[in-house]
């Protein structure tokens, strides 16, 4: 068995750069100090992705935008665009899916596929890796790394060896010893900071030293996790590629950090509506209906809790999901100031797998027709081309989050 892992290089920044260049932006932000970060005025001022030139200034993912600008005053800052990221991810998956039916979308920017010789191409695993890499670069405008290994773990570790725009292999014992074992132990998958500190205390600093350590000692120190990392250090992994989409197996959700601590019920409903709009669009784009609705909150004191409901039916209707989200919020919210809200749906069925009952068929078919029409208008003319009627007299931007909600839609000016 041979596994390939495809991982987009600096995904958020690369996808933003490709989109900007297509729109005529004069600079490729991958070649200058640049970051993807939220607006600190909205309490989002964290670096989500950075360019290689920004990294040379010491700018790191997860640091504050304020700190990054102190290190690099000329830093270019671009806002995140998660709809763009999902579209780029889908396009990447479409290309990769041509090479094997055994494709697992592990995250928004990485996929595993089990190599199967294609009769039309007759390419080796490494030739397949290079073709995928070059096609994505040529057709989509961003680069990927491709790792080729005899199992998932080795494909993932090979993919991380040197970036960007590379193909690496770890296919046999010799490559395990020459490529995997010299790595610092903290670079091994599933070895975190706490585990690294404990390993260094017993003079285990490289993956090779971990591979040669006494597995009984490791199990004594780390229990079952010690056995797992010893197996990984030796290149042993029995996990198979599970065809499907990890994004939808985990659920589809959206969350929002609010500019101020929120206490008003009507405003909370507005924010939930805005979040549910995005969740509904993504749910329908994937071709799913959901039977589980969950709402999560973070209070001003950073206390987090969630509340969920299993529905007796499946739905992809924005209004229906929104109504249940409001019900869940008000069943769990005790009135304390809210800093963050989130909506998530799960436990899916394909749209063509779910049979409507005679009682709800007429209503749901009308709702679904309306949702499809709205999605199509937004796809063709932009998200701001159509919005809910309760936003009509509000200065609030319904695409970014709202203080209103409602069941009716009105047309805004179409904008390309």
Q: DSSP alpha helices (H): ranges in 214-317?
A: 215-222, 224-233, 246-250, 265-286
**Torsion angle of the four alpha carbons 309, 292, 345, 329, in this order, in degrees rounded to the nearest 10:** -10
Output the pLDDT for position 208. 97
- Write the burial class of residue 194 (CB in 10 Å: 0-12 exposed, 13-18 middle, 19+ buried): exposed
- Residue 126: what pLDDT? 94
Q: How many CB atoms lie within 10 A of CB 318?
A: 24
Q: What is the pLDDT at residue 289?
A: 85
pTM to 2 decimal places: 0.68
Q: What region does 406 belong to: left with phi over 0, alpha with psi -120 to 50, or beta?
A: left
Q: If you compute the radius of gyration of the chain from its CA atoms, what whole number of angstroms results?
A: 24
Other Cβ atoms closer than 10 A to 328: 21
Q: What is the pLDDT of residues 167-225, one digit of tens each?
A: 999 999 999 999 999 999 999 999 998 999 999 999 999 999 999 999 999 999 999 99
- pLDDT score for 227: 94
What is the model's pLDDT at position 318? 86
Is 174 part of the annotated catalytic residue set? no
* pLDDT for 207: 97
As averages over each run of 10 residues, the pLDDT of the chain (416 residues) reads 94 93 93 86 73 92 86 91 87 92 88 75 88 95 96 96 94 97 96 94 96 95 94 93 66 79 84 86 81 87 85 86 90 86 84 51 59 66 57 46 38 34
Instruction: For the beta carbon of residue 261, count every other beta carbon within 10 angstroms.
Output: 12
Q: Report the pLDDT value the prediction gives residue 121, as an integer from 0 to 100.
A: 65
Domains in the chain and their CATH numbers? Answer: 12-81 (3.40.1170.60), 177-233 (1.10.150.20), 251-411 (3.30.1490.100)
Catalytic hit among 67, 98, 110, 267: 110
Contact 2, 121 (CB under 8 A): no
């Amino acid at each position: 068995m041979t596994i390939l892992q495809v991982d987009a290089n600096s995904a958020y920044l690369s996808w933003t750069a490709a989109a900007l260049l297509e729109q005529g932006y004069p600079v490729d932000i991958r070649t200058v100090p640049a970051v993807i970060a939220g607006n600190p005025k909205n309490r989002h001022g964290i670096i989500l992705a950075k360019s290689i030139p920004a990294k040379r200034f010491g700018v790191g993912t997860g640091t504050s935008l304020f700190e990054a600008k102190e290190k690099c005053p000329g830093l270019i800052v671009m806002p995140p665009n998660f709809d763009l990221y999902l579209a780029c991810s889908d396009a990447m998956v479409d290309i990769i899916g041509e090479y094997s039916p055994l494709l697992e979308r592990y995250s928004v920017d990485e996929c595993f596929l089990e190599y199967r010789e294609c009769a039309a191409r007759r390419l080796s695993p490494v030739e397949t890796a290079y073709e995928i890499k070059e096609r994505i670069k040529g057709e989509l405008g961003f680069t990927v790394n491709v790792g080729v290994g005899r199992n998932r773990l080795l494909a993932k570790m090979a993919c991380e060896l040197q970036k960007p725009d590379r193909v690496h292999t770890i296919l046999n014992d010799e490559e395990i010893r020459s490529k995997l074992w010299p790595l610092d132990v903290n670079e091994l998958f599933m070895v975190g900071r706490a585990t690294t500190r404990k390993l260094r205390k017993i003079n285990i600093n490289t993956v090779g030293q971990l591979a040669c350590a006494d597995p009984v000692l490791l199990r004594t120190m780390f229990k079952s996790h010690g056995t797992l990392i010893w197996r990984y250090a030796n290149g042993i992994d029995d996990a198979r590629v599970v065809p499907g989409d990890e994004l939808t197996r985990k659920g589809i959700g959206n969350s929002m950090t609010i500019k101020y601590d929120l206490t008003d019920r009507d405003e909370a409903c507005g924010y939930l509506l805005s979040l549910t709009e995005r969740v509904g669009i993504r749910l329908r784009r994937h071709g799913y209906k959901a039977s589980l609705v969950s709402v999560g909150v973070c209070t001003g004191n950073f206390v987090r809790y969630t509340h969920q409901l299993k529905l007796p039916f499946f739905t992809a209707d924005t209004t229906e999901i929104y109504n249940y989200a409001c019900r869940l919020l008000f069943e769990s919210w005790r009135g304390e100031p809210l800093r963050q809200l989130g909506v998530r749906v799960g436990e899916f069925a394909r749209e063509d797998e779910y049979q409507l009952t005679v009682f709800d068929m007429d209503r749901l078919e009308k709702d679904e027709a309306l949702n499809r029409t709205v999605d199509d208008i937004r796809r063709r003319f932009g998200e701001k081309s159509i919005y809910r009627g309760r936003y009509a007299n509000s200065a609030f931007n319904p695409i970014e989050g709202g203080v209103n909600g409602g069941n009716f839609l009105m047309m805004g000016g179409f904008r390309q």
